[in-house]
Structure 1
Amino acid sequence: MRILSFYFGHDANVTLLDEGEVVCVLEKERLTRVKHDAGPMDLAAILEDYGWTPESVDLVVFNPYLRPGRDGRRFALEIEGERYDERPDYKQDGWCGPPEGRMSRHRIRLFGRPFEALAVDHHLAHAAGALFTSPFAEAGILSADGSGDLRACAMAWGAGNRIHEIEYGWGYEKKKMQLNIGAVWASLGEYNFGMKRLEGAGKLMGLASYGTPREEIVAVLREQMLYYPYAPFQTFRFGRGDELALEPEDPFAQDVCASLQQLTTELFLEAARRLKSRWPVACAVLTGGCAMNCIANTAVHRSSLFAGTWVPAQPHDGGLSLGQALFAWHHVLGRPRTPRPLTPYLGTDAGPLPEERAEEIVGFLEQGLSVGLCYGRAESGPRALGHRSILLDPRIPDGKERLNREVKHREWYRPYAPMVLGGDWGVPGKYMSYIVPVAAHGVPAVTHVDGTTRPQILEEGDDPFLLRLLRLWRERTGCALLLNTSFNCQEPLVDTVAQARATWRRTGLDVLVTPEGVETKTGRPGAGAQ
């Protein structure tokens, strides 16, 4: 059974599933080099790249919400049958029921021929993708983002190979609008800070740690979240006149972000308590774009409500095609599931590295050089997890400032995170989704202003090359952490060796390591290595 699944909203993506095994998860932005790229992808070319033919596809899974491509042309699906979003109860606030109420069966025409097809709701796909890639046999699920299928949040319960029930809303169904955490972060970034809408939240979460929450600001943000999440933050209510603009250096702006972070954390905890009371489950999984908020995730994890929590590698919309495909395979087709984490390395394959390359990398890092690493299959999801990463010694006092200035060219307040070698960190941090306290004097380059970091924790059974690299680094330096940040510069994560080399050449990155060899720059230590 071969399943082709696609999502053509922002962060468009495609998944191929063969007998329940993930063949690939491809995000459009990696291929086009346009951040958060939306609209149709070349399905025929993707099938060909992975040795599939249209005739070999048994089932197509999709979300009916489509965005036009960058050329402005709309893409219409040829489908037969009533879609779930055409049913009378589709817009009902607080709808609750079995997932069959938010999916529909169809015939769809692609590649000049008809296929059996399923349409799957946005938050249902988030929920399925989170549970079915987790280590839990049963869990409650919280999903929240900036809106999908006209809903900004949902909670669900699943066990085994089924999602048993899903409810749209986190308890605010009687209000004028649903609780919309993601849209307020995005609106604050876009309208008050002048950022691109889909990039503001991630940046402002870093700025929040510089400020102090203020209850009067929290109250205004709570009102905005319920009634007008797509509007600017109302600065005029704080004696700022008609000026909407906020600057990161302004203490008031920092306090606004800190207040929004406090409110977000409070709402996550409130939703977690409601989830626990509705379905008395032992574990919880968090998903949707808002599950990239590490502080809120950690608060839920440490709340004692659940024995364990989990955040998937791809909680954002870039993982929706995967969730759709797994929902079809497990829930609809009834195929059994073995609870275990899914590898995040599901993208383009750049090829393997020889084991001995790890020693060379450690040598460069000991010299204080930055190393760009591109090998194996690319990470699926928004975080670099070692296969498309920039590495640096985290003990370098000005390491953060140096990377910001010479390589990444990003805002001064945004933190860096490490990959770490095992240990009891108190969080399930495989994908940099939780925060932990860290000693700033030991690893200043990965310590945020609030004394925390968000680690990628590598353990036995994880990527063998990265484990070897971290063990060698610890043997040589006594340090079990390496700064690990996305291999990019104002662009999507690099996908191929050619893209990695182009980014290395146009930035101050010192060393490039790929399956094609080791490349350094003239005039720097190690120059000339091949």
Structure 2
Amino acid sequence: MTAFAASGWSESAVLVVDSLGERQTTTIARGRDDGGRPVTRTMEAMYDPASLGYVYGAVTDHLGWRRGDEEGTVMALAALGDPARFRHLFARAIRTTSTGFVVDPVCFPPRVLTSGYPRTSPCFIAEVGAPRHPDEPVGQVHQDLAAVLQERTEHVMLHLARRARLLTGSRRLCVGGGVATNCVAIGRIVEAEIFDEVFVPPAPGDAGTAIGAAVAVHADGGGREPLAGIARACYLGPSYPEPKLDLTPWPGLKLKVLGPEIAEFLADQLAHGMIVGLFQGRVEAGPRALGNRSILASPLEAGVVERLNATVKFREPFRPFAPVVTAARAGEFFTLGQGSPYMSMASRVTDGARERIPAIVHANGTARLQTVSADQNPFMHQVLEAFGRRTGVPVLINTSLNVKGRPICGTPDMALDCLAHSGLDALLLEGRWITK
């Protein structure tokens, strides 16, 4: 319900792929608008232990990262590995069928409700090696395991998308569930042209179920009023339009109130190489920073990725950074062919992007793209256009306003703390320019 209602479409196929709901792990449905009331009808479902999300989490844990939190790190690592090394194993471990897929319990034992039970089997460990300790260096075997996991995930997701197309006959697809945050797999579905357009809501995982629950209650209760604020909405959290800033806890910070040309000022600072935190408006729903709680940097700056990972985000050096671009000029740099407003799809890049902004191109030749229109985020759009006028490239690096292991900065104090204790050069907080 979340995925379909958030799309604003009158009809679509809906594919939900997760670790586990109640017993379902994968659902194919059809959504339609019934006189202003969104309705979904399940057409096919799969049940535990056939769970793609469970397998991805199990391998994430085996590789030394937190299951349910750091699967994105494994997705990034996959670009550095060779899937051929363990391809035979995963073809057996996750086998596609005419109606979906099955997971081999010899490799991935079925889940139990008691904690402490292993999610990978002795047979699996015998083939891929012992689990990696979080402090252990990342080796080639870890890269190869991540690569084959990602490859098999993409293969199964494409198979499920084709199944959804066959069952529903729809030319549009909404994707939800935790596995929908795998932007590379979503990008593969878009590239395959199974559907004319693909949509992923800003909060496709468990957090987004609150929206779907509210929609369902409204619909089940016979409500006919328009569901304002749900379709194509991502800035749903709290805002602090006029915060009273007390810098006493951070004596090294300095504050300056800016004039009316804030977007031009920020673009100029970014064009001169500054890395800036941006705190404006309401907090984004979902796991991605979409211009209201972001860290912005110029992709034209030499060494910017290394600097961001090492001194600002404090995270693994192989992690890529996402580009944000004006929707009108996205085609100059990215080949996706549709909008990606919630940074939920990986796109291949054009030759021009490789030449001019290699900092946003990951090792697999893709970038997790965010497109921005003037309607979606007016200020962010102004900044991109102003940056484009100065540099010829309306593209910025956009990552979340936080450091590794910490939540996105939802309050002004959290943002100030992030500035004070990271390599950020400055923070633009509701029209206030704060520097060290």
Structure-1-length-normalised TM-score: 0.69
Q: Using a 3 Å threshold, how does the CA distance of structure 1 residues 492 and 458 change in structure 2: closer, same or farther? A: same
Note if 1:189 corresponds to 2:60: yes
Alignment of structure 1 residues 73-152 onto 2, 5 Å: 128-152=1-25
Match of 1:504 in 2: 419
Structure 2 letter corresponding to 1:367: H
Instruction: Give distance in 2, aligned partners of 1:389 and 1:382.
Output: 12
Match of 1:309 in 2: 198
Check the 8 A contact 1:289/1:315 in 2, yes or no.
yes
Structure 1 letter corresponding to 2:145: V
Structure 2 letter corresponding to 1:433: S
Match of 2:132 in 1: 245
Check the 8 A contact 1:511/1:518 in 2, yes or no.
yes
Note if 1:225 corresponds to 2:136: no
Q: Using a 3 Å threshold, how does the CA distance of structure 1 residues 225 and 401 change in structure 2: closer, same or farther? A: farther
SS in 2 for 1:345: coil
Match of 2:233 in 1: 343
Instruction: Give distance in 2, aligned partners of 1:131 and 1:290.
Output: 16
Q: Using a 3 Å threshold, how does the CA distance of structure 1 residues 484 and 469 change in structure 2: closer, same or farther? A: same
SS in 2 for 1:284: strand
Structure 1 letter corresponding to 2:373: E
Note if 1:431 corresponds to 2:321: no
Q: 2:41 aligns with which of 165, 177, 183?
A: 165
Match of 1:179 in 2: 50
SS in 2 for 1:133: helix
Structure 2 letter corresponding to 1:471: E
Structure-2-length-normalised TM-score: 0.83
Structure 1 letter corresponding to 2:382: R
Check the 8 A contact 1:429/1:457 in 2, yes or no.
yes
Runs of 5+ consecutive residues of structure 1 not aligned to the other structure: 1-127, 522-530
Check the 8 A contact 1:298/1:435 in 2, yes or no.
yes
Q: Using a 3 Å threshold, how does the CA distance of structure 1 residues 156 and 455 change in structure 2: closer, same or farther? A: same
Q: How much does 1:309 deviate?
A: 1.1
Alignment of structure 1 residues 274-353 onto 2, 5 Å: 274-335=163-224, 341-351=231-241
Instruction: Give distance in 1, aligned partners of 2:15 and 2:104.
Output: 18
* Offset from partner CA, 1:12-44 (integer Å, 9 cap, x none): xxxxxxxxxxxxxxxxxxxxxxxxxxxxxxxxx
Match of 1:381 in 2: 286
Q: How much does 1:338 deviate?
A: 7.7
Q: Using a 3 Å threshold, how does the CA distance of structure 1 residues 289 and 204 change in structure 2: closer, same or farther? A: same
* Offset from partner CA, 1:297-317 (integer Å, 9 cap, x none): 122222232121100011011
Instruction: Give distance in 2, aligned partners of 1:154 and 1:294.
Output: 19
Q: 1:209 aligns with which of 76, 79, 82?
A: 79
Aligned residue pair count: 386
Structure 2 letter corresponding to 1:350: Y
RMSD between aligned residues: 2.3
Instruction: Give distance in 1, aligned partners of 2:294 and 2:60.
Output: 26
SS in 2 for 1:495: coil
Check the 8 A contact 2:268/2:390 in 1, yes or no.
no
Match of 2:68 in 1: 198
Instruction: Give distance in 2, aligned partners of 1:338 and 1:244.
Output: 47
Alignment of structure 1 residues 8-87 onto 2, 5 Å: none
Structure 1 letter corresponding to 2:155: E
Q: Using a 3 Å threshold, how does the CA distance of structure 1 residues 355 and 151 change in structure 2: closer, same or farther? A: farther
Runs of 5+ consecutive residues of structure 2 not aligned to the other structure: 96-101, 112-118, 243-257
Identity, % of aligned positions: 31
Match of 1:473 in 2: 387
Check the 8 A contact 2:128/2:141 in 1, yes or no.
no
Check the 8 A contact 1:153/1:169 in 2, yes or no.
yes
Q: How much does 1:167 deviate?
A: 4.5
* Offset from partner CA, 1:143-195 (integer Å, 9 cap, x none): 1112121322211111002434215635xx6xxx44211111111122x2222
Check the 8 A contact 2:4/2:38 in 1, yes or no.
no
Q: 2:435 aligns with which of 512, 515, 520?
A: 520
Q: Using a 3 Å threshold, how does the CA distance of structure 1 residues 236 and 504 change in structure 2: closer, same or farther? A: same
